[in-house]
Amino acid sequence: MNDIIQKINKKTAVIGIVGLGYVGLPLALEYATKGFKTIGFDIDERKIPILNSGKSYIKHIKADKIKKTVNNKKFIATADFSRLPEADAIIICVPTPLNEHREPDITYIENSGKVIAQYLRAGQFVSLESSTYPGTTEEILLPMFENAPLTQSAASSGQSSKGKIKPFVVGKDFFLAFSPEREDPNNPKYSTATIPKVVGGVTPNCLKVALAIYNQVIVKTVPVSSPRAAEATKLLENIYRSINIALVNELKMVFERMDIDVWEVVDAAATKPFGFQAFYPGPGLGGHCIPIDPFYLTWKAREFEISTKFIELAGEINTFMPYYVIEKATEVLNK
């Protein structure tokens, strides 16, 4: 632990970012800009030459920032995951969609974990940033990494090494944490570096390393007791938004029948300096998180025999809103 923290403080630690999308790429650029050698990993080989030539494929991420870090030899992109052992810290930023049954699809997390386990070496730190259900870090990734030495030995010898090599011990041989992304793409007020970061480590040592890593580039870190608490924090943030959006969407329909302008009502209510936050009606939900994350919790809650009625109801209302908007647009066009 002391070795990796010393490397971090001296900025000699190498940062590896797995997944170069709207979350991973800006995070990689923050570390590179702060002077850390940063390696970006992605399975999409089309992205690699674009990034290494200093260009951008994400609208709100300026090419100038990429070009500067590439020219300074602080950032390089690759599809070669055999370079993972070069990294002292590995941060996973991969998608977590829903499948056709509206259940969590954590294939990207699982595949990333398997590859990292294949190359994991003693002393490395791994953090998951993908939005997911509480328990993912410790139930899915932790067992993979604890058995990493066995996996590596078996792969090199072609035989099982059980009984010959001791498994890794989390918090001693490697460090594992969860820190949810809080990106708001194209928001001019907030960026990756200026949004506080919630961090939960599997052990106290894991948390110490995680805070050392994130404190280098994030304005403020918020430690919590466990990865599960950090995973739940991200879900609460987006469930809060989903339910309040559904509430104001429902009120829009109610007030319309009463011939009351919902926009006027919300703006008037927003003048109250406490106890109220303005949400506005719209055609359902958009973005990468709010339409998806709440259902990660509804799925996990069923394991504990709990029905999440608020979340399900909010989902029903927000799913109906596009049809409502089409109906109202049709009425206006007919007039």
- Residues involved in catalysis: 289
The two structure tokens encoding residue 40: 């970006």
β-bridge mates for residue 98, sequence order:
104
One-letter amino acid identity for 74? K
- Category of 29 on φ-ψ map: left (φ > 0), alpha (ψ -120 to 50) or beta: alpha
User: Cβ of 48: how many Cβ atoms within 10 Å?
Assistant: 18
β-bridge mates for residue 200, sequence order:
178, 224
CA–CA gap between residue 242 and residue 317 (Å, rounded): 10
Q: Scanning the structure block, which residue is given the tokens 């990468």?
A: 288
β-bridge mates for residue 78, sequence order:
41
β-bridge mates for residue 175, sequence order:
125
CB-CB contact of 123 with 4 (8 Å): yes
CA–CA gap between residue 21 and residue 256 (Å, rounded): 40
Question: 291: exposed, middle or buried (C-beta count within 10 Å: 0-12, 13-18, 19+)?
Answer: middle
Chain-centroid distance of CA 143 in Å reads 20
Question: 250: exposed, middle or buried (C-beta count within 10 Å: 0-12, 13-18, 19+)?
Answer: middle
